[in-house]
A and B are shown apart, each in its own frame.
Chain A
Amino acid sequence: MSYLGFQILYFLLKSLPYADAERVYAPWVDMEAALRRAGRPLCSLEGDRPLGEFDVLGVTLQYELGATNLLTILDLGGIPIRREGRGEADPLVLAGGPGAYVPAPLALFVDAFCVGEGEEQFPEALALLSGLKGRPREERLRALADIEGIWVPAFPRPVRRRFVRDVSSTFVPADRIVPNMGIVHDRVATQVFRGCFRGCRFCQAGMTERPVRERSAESVLSEAESALARTGYEEAGFLSLATCDWRGLPEALARFGERMRSGRTKVSLPSLRMDAFSVELAAGLQAVRKGGLTFAPEAGTRRLRDVINKNLSDEEIRSTLEGTFANGWDRVKLYFMMGLPTETEADLDGIVALCKEAARMGRSAGRRVSLAVSLAGFVPKPHTPFQWEGQAPRAVFRERARSVKSRLSDRRFEVSYHDPEQSFLEAVFARGGAELGPAIEEAWRRGARFDGWSETFDLRRWEEVFRDLNIDAEGLATRERGEQEPFPWDFIQVGVSRAFLWRERCRAMEGIPTQDCRSGCAGCGLGLICREGALDRDLPSSAEEDVSRG
C-alpha cells in the first residue's frame, strides 16, 4: 500500500481505454491457511475475481526477500508457479520494479520483466496484448520480447532500461488509493524528482535511476493539492532519493506555507541530508517537528565515507547535530552500515565516537537526548560500483554489531541492527542467477513465506534447501568477483556503463570521492543525456559505451 509506483501504475492502467486493473496483495500466513482450508482461490480486491481469470498478472518486485510471496500469489490465484507449466488460458505474469534489474533468480516464474520505469513500456505492452487477445501464448510472448525494455525469459536477448524522458509530461495520478487502516507512510506521496545527483557507491537506485529528472514546484504542488482534496489526507510527503537536493523545494514549501500554518496540512520530507539547510528546513515543518530527525551518515569515519562517496565531513555532521539540538529536537536517529568495503575497527570506533559526541552535544545544549542507532549489514548490489565486492560473513556482522552495541550501552542510546541472516539472504538473491529459481520454489514448498518479516523468516530452511540443491549460497554472498567476470545481470543495461562502475570501484578503494552530477559530469555512461534539452536523445546504443572524460 505504501509504494508510490503501485499507485501510479494502478491509475495509469485505469486511464487506458484498452485495459483495466484490479489489485491483489500477498495474504498473510493466516489468510493463506484460511483460503486453502476453504478451497478458495486468491481473488482481486475490487472485483473478487480469481487471479487465474485475468489476462495479465503484474507483480512489483520491491525487495529481494519478496520472492516467495510471488509464488504464494501465483499458487493461491490458481496460476501454475513455473511459467513453463502455464497454458493458453493462464494469465501472462509480468514483473517490474527494482527486482527486474536482476531478473535471473525469478526467470523460472515470470513470463516477462519490465525493466525500468513502468509508465513507459507497461501501457505499450498492454496495448499490444489487447490486440493479440486470443492469440497463442507463444505469439504474445514473442511480441512482448520485441518491446524495448521488456525481457522475456523464453526469448532472451539483452535489454535496455526504459525511463521517462520528460517528467513534466508523464502520467501523474490525481488520485490515490486510501487505505481503510493505518499503513507505513500514511500520507499522500508525491515524487519530486527521479534519480539522484549524489552517486553514493553502495546505492543501487542512485545508479539505476539516472539521470536526475526534476519536476517543477508548480507541478508537484498541483498533484499534491489535488490528491489531498480527493483523498482527505492531511499530510503530503515530497519523495525522492534526496529531497533536500530538489531545486523546487524552497518554492514548494513557501507556497504550501499557508496550508501548513493553518495546521490542517502537514508536509514530511524523507531522507534529510546532514547539513544546516536541511535542519532549518525541517524546523519549519510541523509534521517533522513532532518526531525526531533521522540522518544517515552511513559510516563512522571520513575515510570510509569517502570510500562510499558519501561526501560528508566530521564538521558537517557536528554542525548538523548542533543545529538539530538547538532547534529543539531531542530525538535523533542515525543510520550506519557495517561491512562496507575496506571497513576496519577504526571505522566502528568512529561510529561509537560519533554517537557519543552527539550525546555530549545534546547535553551541552541542555537537552536530554535519545539517540537511536541503526546498523545494517552492507549488501553489495548489482549495477553499483560495489557489485564486485563480497559481503562480510554473518559472524563478522554479528560481532561488529555487538561490539558497537556494547560500547553504546547507557540509556541515551538505543542500538538496533538488521538481522545478519536476512542481510545474508538478501545478498544471495542480489548476487545469484538462474540457479536460485529452483531453490526459491523448494524453500516455498517447505514453507518459506514473507522472508522479509522477522516473525516468519527462517534461514535454516533456506540453508537446507541450498545444501540439498548443491548451491553455494555462502560463496554467492561473500565471494569477491573478478574485474572481467560475467554477472548474471549483464544482459540488463541500465545505462550506467560497467567501465564507469569499475572506475568508481577503483576510486573507492583509494578513498577518492567523485563529484556529484551537479558539479560536473563523472561520465557514468548515460552520455550527457541528463543535460538540459538532451533528454530526447536516445540512450547510447550499448551500455559499454563510455563518454570520454574531460
Chain B
Amino acid sequence: MSPVARVRLLYSKTGRAAFVPHADLPDLLSRAALRAGVELERTQGFSPHPRLSLGPALPVGIEALAEPGELWIESPSVEDREGELNLVCRLRSCLPVGFDVRASARVEGGSLSGFCAGAEYLIRFVSEEKALLAGRWEGNEKVRDAEAPFGPVPGLILGPGRVCLGREMRLLLRDPERNGMASWVKGWAEAGIADWPDLRILRVAVGFLGPEGVRPLLPLHEEE
C-alpha cells in the first residue's frame, strides 16, 4: 500500500458559502475529494470516516480567505510537488461554489491546531460613520485581552490589535480556538451598529502572529 500523504490546504469560503456551517465541512470536503477521484484515509474505530482535520471553526456568516485544513490522502499516491498540485487542481474543480483552495503543501509534524496562534479579521462597515462608532466601543476586559498587538501598520490605531482605515477595521485576535468575533459584534450592536446590514466580516487569515498581522501557514499559490 502506498504511504498516506498528509496535505495541508488553505481554502477560501466566500459569498453564500459563508452560510455553510463549519460542522458540515468535513462531509463537504470529503465528498468533493471523492468527486475529484481522491480517496482519503479512513479513521479507525467503530464508525470509520474520512480522515481530515480543520482549523478553528469559522462562525456562520463570516467569509474567509485562508482557512487551514489537512487531508490524509490515500490514493492516488502523491509522489512530488507536481503530483500534489495536480491533485489540488482536480479538487478545486470539484468544490462547491464559494469554496476554493489557495495554497497547499505536504506536511509532517505537529497538528494543525498548534500553529493557529492568531486570526486576522477585516470588518467593512456600511459607512465611515459606522466604522468610527464601532471604533469607539472599547470592549470589556475579556475582549481587549484577546487582542494581539500589531506592530507599526497604517491606519488609525484604536487599540493594540485594532486599526481603522476609512470604513474598514482590521482586528487581530490571539488564540482563535477561544476568541471569536461574537463578543465584538454584540458590543458593536450595543454601540448602534445594526448587526448584519451594517457590516461584513472577513477572516483574512488564520496562522502565525506577526507584527504586520497574521502570516498564513503556507504561502498562497499565486505568490509562489
> Which residues of chain A have a CB within 8 Å of any CB of chain B?
38, 178, 180-182, 186, 229-234, 263-264, 290
Q: Which residues of B contact A186 (CB under 8 A)?
A: 27
Residues of B near A232 (CB, < 8 A) are 30-35, 94
9 A/B residue pairs, CB under 8 Å, sorted by A: A38-B197, A178-B31, A180-B20, A181-B21, A182-B23, A182-B27, A232-B30, A234-B34, A290-B46
Q: In the complex, how many angstroms separate the beta carbon of B184 from the nearest chain A beta carbon?
A: 22
On whether the beta carbons of B34 and A181 are closer than 8 Å, the reply is no
Across-interface contacts of B20 in A (CB, < 8 A): 180-181
For B39, the chain A residues whose CB sits under 8 A away are: 264
Q: Tell me if B140 is interfacial: C-beta within 8 Å of chain A.
A: no
In the complex, chain B residues whose CB is within 8 Å of the CB of A290: 46-47
Does A231 contact B47, Cβ atoms closer than 8 Å?
no
Residues of chain B contacted by A233 (CB below 8 angstroms):
31, 34
Q: How far is the CB of A470 from chain B (nearest CB, A)?
A: 44
Min Cβ gap B122→A in Å is 24
The answer to whether the Cβ of B24 comes within 8 Å of any Cβ in the partner chain is: yes
Q: A232-B35, A234-B34, A263-B48 are in contact. Are A180 and B42 (CB under 8 A)?
A: no
**B28 contacts chain A at the CB level, 8 A cutoff:** yes
Q: How many Å from the CB of B207 to the closest CB on chain A? A: 25
Given A178-B31, A178-B96, A232-B34, 14 new contacts (CB under 8 A): A180-B17, A180-B20, A180-B28, A181-B20, A181-B21, A181-B28, A229-B34, A232-B31, A232-B35, A233-B31, A263-B42, A264-B42, A290-B46, A290-B47
Q: Which residues of B contact A230 (CB under 8 A)?
A: 35
The residue in chain A whose Cβ has the minimal distance to the Cβ of B196 is A34
CB <8 Å contact, B21 and A231: no
* A-side contacts of B42, CB under 8 Å: 263-264
Output the least CB separation between B62 and chain A (Å): 16
- Whether A180 lies near B24 (C-beta < 8 A) is yes
**In the bound complex, what is the Cα–Cα distance between A181 and B27 (angstroms)?**
8
Contact of A180 among B35, B96, B197 (CB under 8 A): B96
Closest to B197 in A: A38
Contacts of A231 in B (CB 8 A): 31, 35
Residues on A with C-beta less than 8 A from B34 are 229, 232-234
A268 to chain B, nearest CB (A): 14
How many B residues touch A, CB cutoff 8 Å? Answer: 21
How many Å from the CB of A243 to the closest CB on chain B? 24
Which A residue sits closest to B27, measured CB to CB?
A182
Highest count of chain A CB atoms <10 Å: which of B21, B34, B47, B96: B34
> How far, in angstroms, from A233 to B46 measured CA to CA in the complex?
19
User: Which residues does B use to contact A, with CB under 8 Å?
Assistant: 17, 20-21, 23-24, 27-28, 30-35, 39, 42, 46-48, 94, 96, 197
- Interface hub of A38, A180, A233, A263 (most chain B Cβ within 10 A): A180
Q: Is the interface of B mostly helix, strand, loop or mixed?
A: helix
Q: Give Cα A231 to B30, complex, Å.
A: 10
> For residue B48, which residues in chain A have a CB less than 8 angstroms away from its CB?
263
> In the complex the two chains form, what is the Cα distance from A158 to B31 in whole Å?
47
* Closest Cβ neighbor of A290 among chain B residues: B47
User: Complex Cα distance A186/B27, Å?
Assistant: 10
The 3 residue pairs across chains A and B that have the minimum distance between CB atoms: A232-B31, A232-B34, A181-B24
Give the residues in chain A near B21, CB-CB below 8 Å.
181
Task: List B contacts of A234 (CB < 8 A).
Answer: 34
What's the Cα separation between A263 and B48 when bound, in Å? 8
CB-based nearest A residue for B38: A232
Expressed in whole angstroms, the minimum distance between the Cβ of B13 and any Cβ of chain A is: 11
User: Which B residue sits closest to A180, measured CB to CB?
Assistant: B20
**Which residues on the B side are within 8 Å of A264 (C-beta)?**
39, 42
Q: Give the residues in chain B near A180, CB-CB below 8 Å.
A: 17, 20, 24, 28, 96
A233 and B35 CA atoms in complex are apart in Å by 9
A282 CB to closest chain B CB (Å) equals: 17
For A229, what are the chain B residues with a Cβ–Cβ distance below 8 Å? 34-35
C-alpha spacing A264/B197, complex, angstroms: 44
CA distance A531 to B123 in the complex (A): 68
**B83: min CB distance to chain A, Å:** 21
How far is it, in angstroms, between the C-alpha of A170 and the C-alpha of B170 when the chains are bound? 57
Bound-complex Cα distance A331 to B155 (A) = 62
Cα A91 to Cα B38 in complex, Å, equals: 43
How far, in Å, is B43 (CB) from chain A's closest CB?
11
B24 touches A182 (CB 8 A): yes
Q: How far is the CA of A232 from the CA of B90 in the complex (A)?
A: 14
Shortest CB-to-CB span from A36 to chain B, Å, is 14
Residues of B within 8 A of A38 (CB): 197
CA distance A489 to B37 in the complex (A): 50
CA distance A231 to B94 in the complex (A): 10
Determine how close the nearest CB of chain B comes to the CB of A547; give it in whole angstroms.
49
What chain B residues lie within 8 Å of A178 (beta carbons)? 31, 96
How far, in angstroms, from A304 to B94 measured CA to CA in the complex? 53
How many angstroms from the CA of A230 to the CA of B31 in the assembled complex? 9
Nearest neighbor of B50 in chain A, beta-carbon distance = A234
Give every chain A residue within 8 A of B32 (Cβ-Cβ): 232
Instruction: Give Cα A263–Cα B30 distance, bound, in whole angstroms.
Output: 15
Residue of A181, A229, A231, A290 with highest tally of chain B CB at under 10 A: A181
How far apart sit A160 and B19, CA to CA, in the bound complex (Å)? 44
Name the CB-closest residue of B to A46.
B97
A49 CA to B12 CA, complexed, in Å: 26
Question: In the complex, which residue of chain B has the Cβ closest to the Cβ of A45?
Answer: B16
How many angstroms from the CA of A230 to the CA of B94 in the assembled complex? 10
Nearest CB in chain A: distance from B80 CB, A: 26
Residues of A within 8 A of B197 (CB): 38
Closest residue of chain B to A286, judged by CB? Answer: B47
Residue of B nearest to A38 (CB): B197
Question: Most chain-A Cβ atoms within 10 A of its Cβ — which of B27, B30, B39, B42?
Answer: B27
Q: How far is the CA of A290 from the CA of B47 in the complex (A)?
A: 8
Give the chain A neighbours of B30 by CB distance below 8 A: 232
CA distance A233 to B42 in the complex (A): 15
Quote the shortest CB–CB distance from B44 to chain A (angstroms). 11
CA distance A180 to B20 in the complex (A): 7
How far in angstroms is the closest Cβ of chain B from A188?
11
CA distance A234 to B35 in the complex (A): 11
Nearest opposing residue in chain A for B20, CB measure: A180
What is the bound-complex CA distance between A233 and B28, given in angstroms? Answer: 10
Closest residue on chain B to residue A228 by CB atoms: B34
Q: How far is the CB of A91 from chain B (nearest CB, A)?
A: 24
Rounded to whole Å, the gap between the CB of B31 and the closest CB of chain A is: 3
How far is it, in angstroms, between the C-alpha of A521 and the C-alpha of B122 when the chains are bound?
A: 71
Chain A: minimal CB distance from B1 (Å): 13
- For residue B17, which residue of chain A has the nearest CB? A180
What is the CA–CA distance of A234 and B42 in the complex, to the nearest angstrom? 12
Question: Residue on A with the closest CB to B47?
Answer: A290
Q: How far is the CA of A144 from the CA of B31 in the complex (A)?
A: 41
Cβ distance B124 to chain A, nearest Cβ, rounded Å: 18
